[in-house]
């Protein structure tokens, strides 16, 4: 397979080609047809930020549609077969993401605006009926209640992102085997010990967290 940049066709490295074919096969197994893997791009940074060794990104549309992006630090360090469990987890993560976003958004905002927000409007209306509360203050109160609802959604999203990595690992282990995924994660963790993150990640779990979570999981934990 050749990748076309401008007018020039650049042949893909055989191992990159195998990774792309593996990703395509996983998409078929997962019934994930919104993404069509075509190329591999090995990234060192995204903007000014150095990407983690376990970095995985794939684009559905736009100029990078079908591009699988992996960490350059891991380039040539894993075989295509060892990439398979990691790509399976990454694809499952992105497949689950939009549905979970919508679910989190609705289960946060709907209860808030059905219960808390009407209560705020009721109290504000009562105060406005008297001389004690200027209209400006009432407007600020309503604005603050809307802002609080948005902040609640934001923090729930932060928790969701991390939980989705763990969920994707569990689903990927059911597809390709728990031991295979653990071996790939451990190999990723061993690539750059100086950059190895044993501490807990706030939004994105560290490799160690993923390994520990998967190691301690049981068949009953499968989503």
Residues 105 and 215 in one domain: yes
202 plus 117 within the same structural domain: yes
Compute the chain's Rg from CA coordinates: 23
Residues of the domain holding 11? 2-74
pLDDT tens for each residue of 77-100: 999 999 999 999 999 999 988 777
Last residue in a domain, options 74, 103, 133? 74
Average pLDDT of the residues in 53-57: 92
Q: Which of 76, 71, 57 is nearest to 18 (CA)?
A: 76
DSSP of 144-210? HHHHHHHHHHHHHHHHHHHHHHHHHHHHHHHHH-HHHHHHHHHHHHHH-GGG---SPPSSS--HHHH
pLDDT tens profile 127-137? 555 555 555 66
Look over the chain and give the mean of its residue pLDDT values, rounded to a whole number: 80
Identify whether residues 100 and 63 lie together within a single domain: no
Do 165 and 60 belong together in one domain? no
- Going by pLDDT thresholds of 50, 70 and 90, the confidence category of residue 6 is very low
User: Which residue(s) pair with 40 in the sheet?
Assistant: 68
Residue 113 CB contacts under 8 Å (≥ 6 apart), including other chains:
149
Is the domain of 44 the same as that of 136? no
Whether residues 102 and 193 share a domain: the answer is yes
Last residue of a domain, one of 74, 100, 126: 74
pLDDT over 90, % of the chain: 42
């Amino acid at each position: 397979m050749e990748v076309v940049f401008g007018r020039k066709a650049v042949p893909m490295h055989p191992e990159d080609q195998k990774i792309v074919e593996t990703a395509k096969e996983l998409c078929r197994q997962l019934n994930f047809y919104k993404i069509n893997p075509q190329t591999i791009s090995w990234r060192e940074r995204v903007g000014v930020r150095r990407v983690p060794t376990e970095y995985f990104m794939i684009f559905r549309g736009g100029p990078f549609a079908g591009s699988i992006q992996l960490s350059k630090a891991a380039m040539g360090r894993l075989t295509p077969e060892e990439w398979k469990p990691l790509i399976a987890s990454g694809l499952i993560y992105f497949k689950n993401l939009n549905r979970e976003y919508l679910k989190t958004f609705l289960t946060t905002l709907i209860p808030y605006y059905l219960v808390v927000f009407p209560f705020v409007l009721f109290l504000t209306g009562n105060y406005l009926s008297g001389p004690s509360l200027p209209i400006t203050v009432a407007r600020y109160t309503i604005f603050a209640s809307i802002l609080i609802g948005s902040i609640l959604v934001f923090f729930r999203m932060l928790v969701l992102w991390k939980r989705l990595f763990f969920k994707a690992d569990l689903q990927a282990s059911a597809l390709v085997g728990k031991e295979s995924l653990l071996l790939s994660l451990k190999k990723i963790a061993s690539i750059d010990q100086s950059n190895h993150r044993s501490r807990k990640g706030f939004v994105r779990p560290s490799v160690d967290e993923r390994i520990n979570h998967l190691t301690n999981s049981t068949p009953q934990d499968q989503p």
